[in-house]
Amino acid sequence: MILDYLILSFTLMAIGIYGLVTKYRLLKTIISIEILATATTMNFVLLVAASGQVLGETLLILAFSTDICVSSIIVALLVYVARNYGTTDIRELAKLVKDRQTNEDNQSANSEVR
């Protein structure tokens, strides 16, 4: 029964990786990372529950707090990017960064010519 949960968590992990690979919006990236984190903690929790060790369950606090830290940092970056660039699409962001770089290169070339 416990190792059935391994299949469940691997399926969840596959869904999270699918979301990371195919979706280009930053919010979807966060959701995919959350699903990945849920899958990995699920492995841990259910094996600990099977072994009956409470010490393992205390380790979960570490996993959960790490998960909170990662997602809070990503949310802060998401808000920062959305305010500065006006979009959360990764492809559009890449385009904007590329355009900005070419503009800067052109400006520096012009100033050198002058």
Partner 1 sequence: MNNMIIEILAIGLIITAFLAINLDNSIYSVIALGCVLIFSSLLYFFNGAFFAAIFQFAVGAGTIAVLLIVSETLDVQESHENKPKLPIATIIVAVLFSIPVLIFTVPVIQIIPEATTGFPYDLWDFRSIDVMVQGIVILIIAVGMVILLKSQKGGE
Would you tell me which residues interact with partner 1 (CB under 8 A)?
A: 1-4, 6-8, 11-12, 14-16, 18-19, 23, 25, 27-28, 30-32, 34-35, 38, 41-42, 45-46, 48-55, 57-62, 64-65, 67-69, 71-73, 75-76, 78-80, 82-84, 86-88
Q: Which residue, 7 or 113, has its beta carbon nearer to partner 1?
A: 7
| CA angle (89 as vertex; 23, 81 as ends), nearest 5 | 125
Contacts of 110 (CB under 8 A, 6+ apart): none
Q: Which residue, 59 or 109, has its beta carbon nearer to partner 1?
A: 59
Instruction: Provide the minimum distance between the beta carbon of 90 and partner 1 in the complex, in angstroms, as a whole number.
Output: 14
